[in-house]
């Protein structure tokens, strides 16, 4: 698989917040992130947190009242997903914290993945799952669906590039 931009890993996500303080409390005390030093040269309010190999950069909204209202929990919306060890423990903890959530699941090849979705204080959806039990299986180039951005012409171009690399 080609890596044209020489990417290494996900570094961080940035989230615009109604309240950085409430968001720090949530990401620290609910999801286990810890605050890290943020460059002092920024001229806007925010906070940086880190854990699990990724950073979360919280940015204070210039106009919190104009941020979208928090809607219902829909697993098909944009979300951040974290793998966990015990779905039962998670569900128990969220009930104790009185955090509204929905459960879902997916099954493939006899393997069931359990999912739990809820919102952070800003309405960003969080998924907690045992997704690591589902194998990551790369698709052959021939099976890329037409809904993907790669067209047949791009697939042919990629194959040609792979062949050229193999010949070198």
Active site residues: 127
Please name the residue ranges forming H helices in the chain.
20-29, 87-96, 152-167
- The alpha carbon torsion through 69, 84, 90, 70 (nearest 10 deg) reads 0
Which residues pair with residue 82 across a beta bridge?
128
**Cα(61)–Cα(166) distance, rounded to whole angstroms?**
50
Tokens for 8, please give them.
Answer: 């290494």
Query: By C-alpha distance, which of 12, 13, 17, 25 is closest to 122?
Result: 17
**Cα(121)–Cα(61) distance, rounded to whole angstroms?**
13
What is the CB neighbour count within 10 angstroms for residue 47? 20
Cβ-proximal residues to 1 (8 Å cutoff; 6+ apart), any chain: 138
Place of tokens 């204070």: 60
């Amino acid at each position: 698989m080609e890596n044209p931009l020489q990417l290494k890993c996900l570094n961080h996500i940035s989230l615009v917040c109604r309240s950085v303080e409430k968001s720090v409390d949530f990401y620290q005390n609910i999801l286990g992130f810890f605050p890290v030093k943020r460059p002092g040269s920024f001229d806007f309010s925010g906070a940086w947190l880190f854990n699990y190999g990724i950073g979360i950069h919280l940015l204070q909204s210039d106009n919190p009242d104009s941020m979208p209202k928090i809607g219902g929990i829909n697993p098909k919306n944009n979300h951040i997903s974290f793998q966990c060890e015990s779905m039962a423990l998670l569900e128990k903890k969220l009930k104790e914290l009185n955090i509204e959530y929905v459960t879902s699941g997916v099954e493939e090849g006899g393997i069931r993945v359990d999912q739990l979705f809820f919102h952070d204080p800003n309405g960003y959806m969080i998924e907690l799952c045992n997704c690591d039990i589902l194998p990551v299986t790369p698709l052959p180039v021939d099976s890329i669906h037409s809904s993907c951005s790669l067209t047949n012409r791009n697939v042919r171009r990629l194959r040609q590039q792979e062949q050229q690399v193999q010949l070198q």
